[in-house]
Amino acid sequence: MVNIEIEGIHFSYKSTKALESVTAKIESGNFVGLLGPNGSGKTTLLKCLSGMLKPKVGSIYFDGKNLEVFSGSDLAKNFSIVLTNAIDTPQMEVFDILATARYPWTGWLGSLSSKDIKTINEALEALEIKDFIGRRFNELSDGQKQKVLIARALAQEAKVLLLDEPVAHLDIKHQIEVLGLIKRITKERNLITIGALHDVNLASLFCDSAILLSEGRIISIGPIDNVLTDENIKKAFHISTIVKKHPITDSLYVVPICTSELKSVKPKALTIHIICGGGTGASLMRMLLEHGYKISAGVLNVLDTDYEVACTLGIPIVSEAPFSSITEEAHKANLNKINNANVVILTDTPFGRGNLRNIGAAIMALEKGITTVVVEGKPIQERDFTGGYAQASYEELKRKGAIFVESYDRILSILNELEGKQENLHKVQLSGKEKHQNDH
């Protein structure tokens, strides 16, 4: 059994502190989640562990030896790192990229042995991407590229895997597949795996333990259930949450809450139906409630982050079973909610075959004359996992007159304009009613 010991390391980029007094011990066979907000020091810590950066103060030990005594080749034999920024290999094929992972083992000539080729093939098979072997890297989607880079890390046969947002470009199905695979390989090969993860709920499902960082310092370290507490998350992310134990998975899940902070405002006349998912609607729901709008949402899968937030805020929703496609029954219920709304907002959620009906619901809203706003902060091409059907539906939304915006900031001004028009119409109707009464 090997282990990593981090002893009081500090690191700064010029005058900016990135890590401060970080101390930890990690043993083999553990999948450790590196958690924290943007800028908390997660990537810097990974780079220090890989030897890419040298701590200004403190030391890192692997298997009892200070990293400073390791040669470049020895570091590569023991540590493999996958960063979020894809490598620049415009003409390289997938096999060649994985072949570069074997350089610590091939000797100065760099010739691949039968063992090297077998190791490469096993890594491709593990990620189920063997059919990519002759394709050029730059022809792959972001999600496919990420799988290739993880396969490359496995082909390196290092004892430590360092992963910076390993599922950042994958849809939820492939996130679960890849993280499950990483956990299985960690156990089977008795590796140390440290992965910086953005989603604390995914970390709870797959990680054995966690290091929670904020502003370069450790807020909490230990078993995942001990780290993910309301208090720790508030310290790190400065938000209030509810942490619950799921009755089926027996893992924790985190729900952001804001009910105590919602402002008491005069209710608005408009009713808004939000089509969202994957956490893309959480902040929008809160914003609209804070401004007094009556809202509903759907179709949302049970356990989806937006589902949990809507339930916590008491928002009426149309739901579907976890990880299931939208049924005809749920679709009709969603259309009923839409019929009772003045405005429909479609967020920039990823689309797969399972939730494609949600775009169809937005199209039907337009056909009924309901104002429909589409948030496209992230281009649909990057969120379309339907083979182009979602992109075609977005083109139809444009043709039928949907209002496209790049951020939620624009939504409030659009709603204010609609609110003003509705108030003016109401005044005209009242004036006409009074005139009719006076005439009689």
Q: What is the pLDDT of residues 213-231, one digit of tens each?
A: 999 999 999 999 999 998 9
How confident is the model at residue 426, as a pLDDT?
A: 46
Helix H, strand E, coil C: the string for 312-370 is HHCCCEEEECCCCCCCHHHHHHHHHHHHCCCEEEECCCCECHHHCHHHHHHHHHHHCCC
**Which pLDDT band, with edges at 50, 70 and 90, does 265 fall under?**
low
Average pLDDT score over the chain:
86
Does residue 369 surpass a pLDDT of 80? Answer: yes
**Which pLDDT band, with edges at 50, 70 and 90, does 85 fall under?**
low
How confident is the model at residue 289, as a pLDDT?
A: 87
How confident is the model at residue 175, as a pLDDT?
A: 87
d(CA 365, CA 271): 13
How confident is the model at residue 381, as a pLDDT?
A: 87
Q: CB of 319 within 8 A of CB of 298?
A: yes
- Comparing 121-125, 202-206, 420-424, which segment has the lowest mean pLDDT? 420-424
Q: What is the DSSP letter of 70?
A: -
- % residues pLDDT > 70 (the chain): 91
Ordered by where they begin, the domains of the chain are 3-238 (3.40.50.300), 258-422 (3.40.50.720)
Specify the residue for token string 């001990």: 226
Q: What is the mean pLDDT of residues 288-310?
A: 87
**Which pLDDT band, with edges at 50, 70 and 90, does 111 fall under?**
confident
**Which pLDDT band, with edges at 50, 70 and 90, does 88 fall under?**
low
Dihedral sign from CA coordinates of 150, 194, 115, 92: positive
Q: What is the DSSP letter of 77?
A: H
Q: Report the side by side order of strands in the sheet with 79-82.
A: 79-82, 160-164, 192-196, 30-35, 209-214, 217-223
d(CA 368, CA 346): 16
How confident is the model at residue 395, as a pLDDT?
A: 94
**Which pLDDT band, with edges at 50, 70 and 90, does 303 fall under?**
confident
Q: What is the mean pLDDT of residues 101-107?
A: 82
Other beta carbons within 10 Å of 227: 25
**Which pLDDT band, with edges at 50, 70 and 90, does 27 fall under?**
very high
- Residue, of 308 and 360, whose pLDDT is higher: 360
Q: What residues pair up with 375 in beta bridges, in sequence order? A: 405
d(CA 350, CA 175): 13
Does residue 307 surpass a pLDDT of 50? Answer: yes
- Give the amino acid at 230: D
Q: CB of 94 within 8 A of CB of 38?
A: no
Q: What is the DSSP letter of 170?
A: S
d(CA 407, CA 361): 21
How confident is the model at residue 435, as a pLDDT?
A: 45
**Which pLDDT band, with edges at 50, 70 and 90, does 252 fall under?**
confident
d(CA 77, CA 263): 56
d(CA 18, CA 16): 6
Does residue 108 surpass a pLDDT of 70? Answer: no
Does residue 210 surpass a pLDDT of 90? Answer: yes
d(CA 90, CA 188): 34
How confident is the model at residue 90, as a pLDDT?
A: 60
pLDDT tens, residue by residue, 371-412: 999 998 888 988 888 889 999 999 999 999 999 998 877 898
Q: What does each C-alpha distance from 274 to 73, 377, 419 come to in angstroms? A: 53, 16, 17
Q: What are residue 395's phi and psi, to 5 degrees?
A: -60, -40
Does residue 5 surpass a pLDDT of 90? Answer: yes
How confident is the model at residue 432, as a pLDDT?
A: 44
- Give the amino acid at 102: R
How crowded is the C-beta side of 19, counted as CA atoms within 13 Å? 28
Tokens of 213: 């960082």
Q: What does each C-alpha distance from 185 to 178, 182, 189, 201, 299 come to in angstroms? A: 10, 5, 6, 21, 35
How crowded is the C-beta side of 92, counted as CA atoms within 13 Å? 14
**Which pLDDT band, with edges at 50, 70 and 90, does 436 fall under?**
very low
Does residue 49 surpass a pLDDT of 90? Answer: yes
How crowded is the C-beta side of 119, counted as CA atoms within 13 Å? 20
